[in-house]
Amino acid sequence: MDNQISVNLFKQLNKENIKYAVLRNYKTLPESLGGSDIDLWVCRKDVKAFFRIIENVAKEQNAHMVSYLPDTLCPKVCYMNSECGIQIDVFCGCIPYQNTEMIQGEVIQKHIQKYKDIYVLDDQLANLVAFIKEIVNNGTSGEKYIKPLYDNADLYSLEYIQSVLTLFSAHFSEALHEAIQGKQLVHKFEKLKKLGRSSLKTNNIFLHKISKVSRFWNKPGYVISVQGTDGSGKSTIIDAITPWLEEAFHNGIIYNHLRPNVLPDMGVALGKKEALKDGEKPKVVSDPHAQKPSGFIGSIVRWGYYMMDYTFGYAKSVYPKIATKAKVFIFDRYYYDYYIDQRRSRTSLPQWVLRFGEIFVPVPDLILCLGGDPKKIYERKPETSLEEVTRQTNVLKRFCNKRKNVVWVDTTLTPEESIRLAKEAILDMLSKRFNKVTFL
């Protein structure tokens, strides 16, 4: 299915003769984002018109702004509807480093070409700019930015580099040229970073940093928890919403099982089991109630250990990302699983202990509670008993009724209907934080 937000956006930009250029990853546009975000340069005089157009397109497509990172020279906007999403880094008149120009708009305009029905930056300059952005901002660069320069080294003469990097010093251009021709870019990262940054005069750095700190009061990121018994369809829902969210939050979806996982599993910490490899999901447990719960003291120790992960671990790995970047954490289960199925965690604690601990646990922006007819759920995954599934489902319903940011999703309907209901709940939540932001 075509991404209609993207299709209509480029159609309107062309119709109103907005001067723009897609900087990279343009070959699947406008029908598809190709698994990428859009880096879009817009001529300074057309910036206001551009934001008017994107707001109008969003209204026409019933799309909502779901994340926004304000910046004078390069704001980031994310829009979504029930079908698709789009993330755009808008380069307003130039390509900046912090609060100053790095690549001038006049240079960009000289290297724009048409590809199908959209305007793009030619590959020669686009590949050079992509590397420069990485090295100046981060002091390093990945192979995907280096290889195009090596493969086309004959195009990057010193004269060409100096003609497009007009704001950089002669020393930087010469060092860059030598590194490309000698295939020594990796060994020259530090030198190029220092020469590049010293070439660019940045002003009002304090104000620039303050503008980023302001994101803490209007976070661009979110946390979603998915709760449910075994067989309730958590994997089905998570697998369905992840690629959908990925379109609006490019490379921004982070999956966690149960908790932030900054602390290792207690069994790993005690040397009783091996740690999961990076990106590896926990193995499906065929009998989650096979082991008996610990006594009260053992349960307190186990619960207290994981409480540190829910609090300090969250502060270390989750909050900094959602407070400053367009990221979405999806938790498959969360702290609330203690209310539903303590035997899974091998604890046996009174409710007052769990409620006391909940005071200190950061609350997700949305909790999806998945459930329905216990008999249908049990038939899907008969790992415990029908009685146990019924008990957990009833506990989850009561939990759902007592909290405001919780939505019940009946997953004993068809998968398509359950996914639709989950998406509706997520989009309703995402649409509220930035609904008063306007560029007009």
Instruction: Count how many residues are written for the chain.
Output: 440
Under DSSP, the state recorded for 249 is S
pLDDT tens by residue, the chain, 440 residues:
899 999 999 999 999 999 999 999 999 999 999 999 999 999 999 999 999 999 999 999 999 999 999 998 999 999 999 999 999 999 999 999 988 999 999 999 999 999 999 999 999 999 999 999 999 999 999 999 999 999 999 999 999 999 999 999 999 999 999 999 999 999 999 999 999 999 997 655 555 555 555 555 679 999 999 999 999 999 999 999 999 999 999 999 999 999 999 999 887 877 777 776 666 666 655 556 667 777 899 999 999 999 999 999 999 999 999 999 999 999 999 999 999 999 888 899 999 999 999 999 999 999 999 999 999 999 998 888 999 999 999 999 999 998 889 999 999 999 999 999 999 999 999 999 999 888 75
- Whether 182 maps to a domain, the answer reads yes
Do both 321 and 228 map to the same domain? yes
Q: What is the CATH number of the domain that holds 294?
A: 3.40.50.300
Do both 67 and 198 map to the same domain? yes
Do both 252 and 391 map to the same domain? yes
Do both 183 and 243 map to the same domain? no
12, 56 in Cβ contact below 8 A? yes
Count CB atoms within 10 A of the CB of residue 208. Answer: 17
Alpha helices in 309-414 (DSSP H): 314-317, 319-324, 337-340, 351-358, 374-380, 386-401
The maximal CA–CA distance of the chain, rounded, in angstroms, is 77
Alpha helices in 61-117 (DSSP H): 105-110
Here the tokens at position 340 are 């539903």
Do both 40 and 139 map to the same domain? yes
Do both 147 and 241 map to the same domain? no
Under DSSP, the state recorded for 259 is S
Give the domain extent around 32. 4-213
- Considering 213, 230, 257, which residue would you say is the last residue of a domain? 213
Task: Say whether 406 sits in a helix, a strand or coil.
Answer: strand
Under DSSP, the state recorded for 83 is S
Integer CA distances (angstroms), 69 to 205, 316, 437, in order:
17, 21, 11
Here the tokens at position 171 are 């020393």
220, 325 in Cβ contact below 8 A? yes
Here the tokens at position 163 are 């003609």
